Structure 1
Amino acid sequence: MHAFRPPWLLMPMIAVLCSRVHSFSHAFPVHGFRQLVFCSHCQLAFAKTSGGEITDSYHGISCNMGTISVRRMLPNATILEFDIAYKLYRPSSLSSRQAAPIVALHGGPSVPSNYLLPLVRIVPYRSILFYDQLGCGTSDEPKADDGIYSVGNAVGDLEVLLKHLGVRRFHLYGQSFGGILAYEFLKRQASKEVDDGIAGEGCRSVILSSTPTNVMQIEDEARSLVEKLDSPDLFRETHQRRISPMPQALTDAYAYAGTAWRGTGAIADYKATPPSANSRKLRSALVLRGEHDFVTEVCVADWKRSLWNTPYVRERVLDGCSHHGLLENGPLYGEIVDSFFTEYD
């Protein structure tokens, strides 16, 4: 038996094993950007609507689409502005007091939100906000120069989006890398002396789905799993998705994945750290993973064991599922997600 190196797009969280980069027949073009004059009063990220909102639907479910603009400051004090695209499903329910909206954060980094869209069908009634993080999907994809990309910058973009759309009371859902982003967002909010009004009542609860605490650790676990198999296809079918053919939602996400800031190579040094001692308490969390997930038990153990500053962390293993439980057993997944969030509405 020999080791192999599967393509990164088959395993968005273990790109370190890549041996080549796939080219796409439907690759999304890199958008342009606008240069701005530096102003000492400007924030590094700000929001404005670009081109207004467009109403669309997904399986007959209403949706508003739009873009916001975020900024990055280069070392020479030049400010660059980029667009981030979002979709808000069931927009009329955004301010519901009975069922708070879900803010969905995709993985990768740079595997866009297409593969999370089935949440709209399996979680009824709630507004659900999706967006493509900078560098992938229908958002701009600037080159990875001068600190454009970082986990911290991605957290800032999320803050801008929530403020722009007036999302004041919500649940966070993060899949794979999206869970890392969710945790870092919660930690930043908890570190502030007072609620600064970015999210008003803020996050009610959070789900971390197939989210590791330590990128180096998941790479080691993945290598161990890879060494037991004979082909990239077998790894994918066992630990990444256990359904065939590949769901269209996942196919679409891979077709528009970014190339500038991708996979574990982009966050190789990431290891989650606890909130500071004087931080406010984090919201209640549910840690999900598949029975056959390449994000193994050891990769998620520290969320509950040492990272959360409250005891309110639950764990759930999805029987028969791997990394994409949402796509493998949608009805069960939807029931778990909605039931957990309902407890904290």
Structure 2
Amino acid sequence: MPDVSTRMIPFGAWETWVRITEPDEPRAGALPLIVLHGGPGMAHNYLRNLEALAETGRRVIHYDQLGCGNSTHLPDAPAEFWTPQLFVDEFTNVVEHLGLTDYHLLGQSWGGMLGAEIATRRPDGLRALAICNSPASMQLWVEGAAELRAKLPAEVEATLSAHEAAGTTSAPEYLRATEVFYERHVCKVVPTPDDFRESEQQMEAEPTVYHTMNGPNEFHIVGTLRDWTIVDRVHLIDVPTLVVAGEDDEATPATWAPFVENIQDVAAHVFPGASHCTHLEQPREFRAVIAEFLARHDA
């Protein structure tokens, strides 16, 4: 069994919780992989099965971003506190404290957005980037969500629209309607995997980051990220990049097209029949694609 350890890393006046999975048999030249979770605010749990990539001989590093999971919670922080730059700084701090000089980076959903933000800064140690199920702008995400919502049963879309207009997005009827969208485009596994439920439950218990930056759910984007875009900066990413998505992903092809069109060294892979949580729906296939990409860009 791989050796798993956890630690708290100081980050200013706060702490970032880190989980490190060491391989049983380290492979020469295999660089560590840092995994960035989504949300923002969903914690690492739902991506925990990516620790199995340690079986390819590399260290796998998960961490809970500030404001969620096992890291410091700041429920009273003002909305303007929660910025992409805050999380870029936290990532840099984790890398420095772990003494990493060369590494790969994988981000899922918001984590892929954050990974792209990090990569545009061109940090010295970054060797390859995997952007998984992520948009290049929230406007593209909203447009994609509208297209998917238009294909929902008419009564479901009517319920969603009515409660959004009334500001009653915590109503039971609204929450039931969101589940219809989620089952089609967020996670198709039934019953919902425990790892996903853990991330969801901790977010619901302390929703500051998710509600402030995103909104009440995956497709009603009213938070501070609503105007976020990296389209005009994507060309600054200068490391080999893999973009992956599911065929039925809420991250529709138009949302991630700017990555493929504007990153110089880029490849894309779409998983047939999968949605947003591709790594939970097709775990072996997902890890195989990621492992092959990382191995090609090891030291």
Give secondary structure in 1 for the equivalent of 2:136.
Answer: coil
Q: Is the 8 A contact 1:93 1:127 kept in 2?
A: no
Q: Is the 8 A contact 2:33 2:105 kept in 1?
A: yes
Q: Which consecutive unaligned segments of at least 5 residues does structure 1 have? A: 1-59, 72-80, 196-201
1:160-191 deviation line (CA, Å, top 9, x unaligned)? 1001001111110000000111111111126x
Give secondary structure in 1 for the equivalent of 2:104.
Answer: strand
Pairing 1:178–2:111 present = yes
1:85 corresponds in structure 2 to 17
1:138-175 deviation line (CA, Å, top 9, x unaligned)? 11111232743210110011001001001111110000
CA-based RMSD: 2.0
Pairing 1:65–2:6 present = yes
Q: Which consecutive unaligned segments of at least 5 residues does structure 2 have? A: 157-176, 215-220
1:219 corresponds in structure 2 to 142
Structure 1 residues 221-300: aligned runs within 5 Å: 221-229=144-152, 230=156, 231-257=177-203, 258-262=206-210, 263=214, 264=221, 265-275=223-233, 282-300=238-256
Structure 1 residues 1-345: aligned runs within 5 Å: 60-71=1-12, 81-90=13-22, 97-121=28-52, 124=55, 125-142=57-74, 143-145=76-78, 147-189=80-122, 195=124, 202-229=125-152, 230=156, 231-257=177-203, 258-262=206-210, 263=214, 264=221, 265-275=223-233, 282-306=238-262, 308=263, 310=264, 312-345=265-298
Larger radius of gyration: 1
Once the 2 structures are TM-superposed, how far is the Cα of residue 69 of structure 1 from its aligned partner? 1.6
Once the 2 structures are TM-superposed, how far is the Cα of residue 89 of structure 1 from its aligned partner? 0.6
Q: Is the 8 A contact 1:93 1:101 kept in 2?
A: no
User: What fraction of aligned residue pairs are identical, expressed as a percent?
Assistant: 26
Aligned residues: 261
Once the 2 structures are TM-superposed, how far is the Cα of residue 67 of structure 1 from its aligned partner? 0.8
Q: Is the 8 A contact 2:2 2:54 kept in 1?
A: no
Instruction: Pick which of 176-185 and 263-272 moved more.
Output: 263-272
Give secondary structure in 2 for the equivalent of 1:254.
Answer: helix
Q: Is the 8 A contact 1:122 1:331 kept in 2?
A: no
2:173 corresponds in structure 1 to none
Q: Is the 8 A contact 1:109 1:266 kept in 2?
A: no
Q: Is the 8 A contact 1:206 1:285 kept in 2?
A: yes
CA distance in 1, matches of 2:25, 2:225: 35
Once the 2 structures are TM-superposed, how far is the Cα of residue 235 of structure 1 from its aligned partner? 1.4
2:161 corresponds in structure 1 to none
Give secondary structure in 1 for the equivalent of 2:72.
Answer: coil
CA distance in 2, matches of 1:173, 1:104: 5
TM-score, normalising length: structure 1: 0.71
CA distance in 1, matches of 2:22, 2:54: 11
Q: Cα 1:93–1:147, aligned 2, differ >3 Å: closer, same or farther?
A: farther
Q: Is the 8 A contact 2:234 2:259 kept in 1?
A: no
TM-score, normalising length: structure 2: 0.82
CA distance in 2, matches of 1:98, 1:228: 47
Q: Which segments of structure 1 move beyond 3 Å, counting only runs of 4 or more?
A: 91-94, 273-277
1:98-146 deviation line (CA, Å, top 9, x unaligned)? 2111100000000000011101125522211000001110111112327
Q: Is the 8 A contact 2:23 2:54 kept in 1?
A: no
Q: Is the 8 A contact 2:116 2:234 kept in 1?
A: no
